[in-house]
Structure 1
Amino acid sequence: MWRKFRVIILLLILATALQELWLDKADLAWKHNLYVAVYPINVDGDKEVSAYLQTLSRDDFEPMAEYFAEEATSYQLGLRRPIEVQLGAVVNELPPAPPIDGSVLSTILWSLKFRLFAWQNSPKVKVKPDIRLYLLYHNPKSNWLLGHSTALNKGRIGRVNLFAGAEYAKKNLVVTAHELLHTLSATDKYDLQSTLPIYPDGYAEPNKLPLYPQNFAELMGGRIPRSDSAATIPISLKHTMIGEKTAREIGWLR
């Protein structure tokens, strides 16, 4: 009896995995635009953060949709607006934090917990979202260093650490756009130890002569290379580009 039950469970897991694989390929064929829901979260229950979240509107995220539309034209995608962003209601629960040890088992368990969290904490938006990003806002006065943001392509969900405040809005969109592309299978293109972009895929202009200083950051490279040992954080999406390897990973380039 137990053996039959175990076989049924394994078959259900296999069916779910195959369905996700099919959906993943269908999304990255870009036959239609993808809808993103962003859900703000006041991490510490801070009053100043709460006041800031009340000022947020869909217009604050429109530059990100426009950015992807502009970048897509470089790859002749054929969609006028491949990404549409919707602002969801504030979520009062915190998504589970990724494991510190990074072991395979703990990562799998965290992934399952995060997906359960997303299923339980997805307030309705106008159009059912293909991607859900949980924006964890911190008060910069008490949290001057943000934790690492992360996202999963399985389930298309992200956990994004941001600073609350209008003066951080443009940089926040860079971080959010970066994590959004992770949900579409884009990989990081910077060295995890030094945080420097990796040449050539982490460079927006790998063929530029002279190579330095670069004028833009490759979005998944994270920073603008100024020399082979120095790079700066882009202040807005206008200072970033989507490179060819990233475009290939997300299905914009064949």
Structure 2
Amino acid sequence: MSAFRVQVEASGSRGAAMVVARAFQLPLEEARRLLAEPRVLPRDLDEAEAGRLVEALRRQGVTCAAVPVVGRASAVCGRHPVLSAERPCEECRALVCVLCQGAEGRALCAGCAARRVRRTRAKWLRVSVLLGVLVGLVLWGVSRQRSRDRRLTWERPLEVAVVLLARGEVTPEVRGAWEKGVERLGDWAAREAGRYRVELGRPVRFVLAGPVSGGDFRFEPPEDTGWWARLRQAHRWSTALAAVDEEAGVSSRPWDARIYVVLEDAQEGGPRLVEGMAEAGGTMGLVRGVRGDTGLTLELTAVAHEFFHCLGAADAYDAEGHARVPEGLVEPGREPLYPQPAAEVMVGEVPLGEARGRLPESLEEVAVGPATARALRWTW
């Protein structure tokens, strides 16, 4: 028996869509899609069925005609079994009809279409979650930075915890020297701020804590200077220092900064090693000092140096450790320029001449130069 199909011109008539919906047992919206453009309707009919459909569509004003199907009958669509399949599904190759083709002409069976929708939803969910996390991190970072920047308004005294860490015994004499030392450091900060007319009697309050053992903490910069190595080192330090804070009793209150001083034995026959590092604009600094020292000039200078790093001040020495001109000088306009009267705190050396200097012998020989004062917003 011969099979026929109905060739139609496009029609937006609701009546024509209802005729096709009843004839093909389709939802009205899908029948409208079949009539949205000129086509041969994708269903094989016998001659009588085709004639009745043509007559009904013509009554609705649709230009149409029955055309014979050449060749074997077509396979049917798995999603619309009343319609003939015309293309394979792009993903599983199952045959699908024209209604299973998307707006871009892509053919998908019902199962693959549902999976694609689920994948798309999952993708956008992941993107939304990542965007939410990113926005949260940005807001947290902005809030944190604003909180740090408020330190430089100098509307209140800043509080700094100086935490001593030592593997071996710290004698009462050394502990007492540190107690007096942080007091001297507070006096020094008040003196230097006063030189720049900062109207806050004692701008920094240094509070001593420890000594504690330090647990697993090691003052060892990463050999690799890449960002991933620095990130891993920062994570290890953060974990170890959280335990240090608990042991030292400084974890229960907020601090404007915490400076950890790792006291180690001096190398026999070698130089006294005092060095440090700090997070620029951050809240944490590290200093390596000598366990048996009671003079503490170098250690206290390093504590002030790393704390000022936390407030945004930059190093003012060159690759050889000598003061850069003019930012590394306490009096850059001095005539003659050398010798300088004191060591700039972000250098730590009293300049005696070009590329020459000596270590300060007391805090009286350490001062804040104009460049550092501007970074601290003590002057403009």
Cα pair distance change 1:150/1:57, threshold 3 Å: closer
Percent identical residues: 25
Cα pair distance change 1:101/1:128, threshold 3 Å: same
Give the drift of 1:167: 4.1
Q: Which runs of 5+ in 1 are unaligned?
A: none
Match of 1:121 in 2: 244
Cα pair distance change 1:118/1:188, threshold 3 Å: same
Cα pair distance change 1:209/1:147, threshold 3 Å: closer
Further displaced range: 193-202 or 172-181: 172-181
Q: Please give the residue correspondences for 1:106-117 in structure 2 after superposition, counting only pairs within 5 Å.
A: 106-117=229-240
Residue pair 1:216, 1:240 contacting (<8 A) in 2 also: yes
Q: Helix, strand or coil for the counterpart of 1:36?
A: strand
AA of the residue aligned to 2:145? L
1:20-53 CA-to-partner distances (Å, cap 9, x unmatched) read 21112211111111001111111xx234x46665
Residue pair 1:115, 1:155 contacting (<8 A) in 2 also: no
AA of the residue aligned to 2:302? V
Between Structure 1 and Structure 2, whose CA radius of gyration is higher? 2
AA of the residue aligned to 2:311? L
Match of 1:158 in 2: 285
Q: Which runs of 5+ in 2 are unaligned?
A: 1-124
* TM-score computed with the length of structure 2 as normaliser: 0.60
Give the drift of 1:235: 1.9
AA of the residue aligned to 2:351? P
Q: Structure 2 CA distance, aligned partners of 1:239 and 1:73?
A: 16
Further displaced range: 212-221 or 79-88: 212-221
Q: Structure 2 CA distance, aligned partners of 1:46 and 1:2?
A: 51
Match of 1:28 in 2: 152
* TM-score computed with the length of structure 1 as normaliser: 0.87
Match of 1:229 in 2: 355
Q: Structure 2 CA distance, aligned partners of 1:95 and 1:17?
A: 28
Residue pair 1:223, 1:233 contacting (<8 A) in 2 also: yes
Q: Structure 2 CA distance, aligned partners of 1:176 and 1:87?
A: 12
Q: Structure 1 CA distance, aligned partners of 2:181 and 2:274?
A: 23
Structure 1 segments of 4+ aligned residues over 6 angstroms from their partners: none
Further displaced range: 207-216 or 165-174: 165-174
Q: Structure 2 CA distance, aligned partners of 1:207 and 1:129?
A: 37
Residue pair 2:272, 2:290 contacting (<8 A) in 1 also: no
Give the drift of 1:190: 0.2
Q: Please give the residue correspondences for 1:53-132 in structure 2 after superposition, counting only pairs within 5 Å.
A: 54-55=175-176, 58-93=179-214, 94=217, 97-122=220-245, 123-125=248-250, 128-132=254-258
Matched pairs, number: 250
Give the drift of 1:221: 2.1
Residue pair 2:312, 2:375 contacting (<8 A) in 1 also: yes
Match of 2:44 in 1: none
Match of 2:307 in 1: 180
Cα pair distance change 1:56/1:3, threshold 3 Å: farther
Match of 1:46 in 2: 168
Q: Structure 1 CA distance, aligned partners of 2:280 and 2:236?
A: 15
Give the drift of 1:111: 3.5
Match of 1:5 in 2: 129
Q: Helix, strand or coil for the counterpart of 1:149?
A: strand
Residue pair 1:36, 1:131 contacting (<8 A) in 2 also: yes
Match of 1:205 among 313, 331, 340: 331
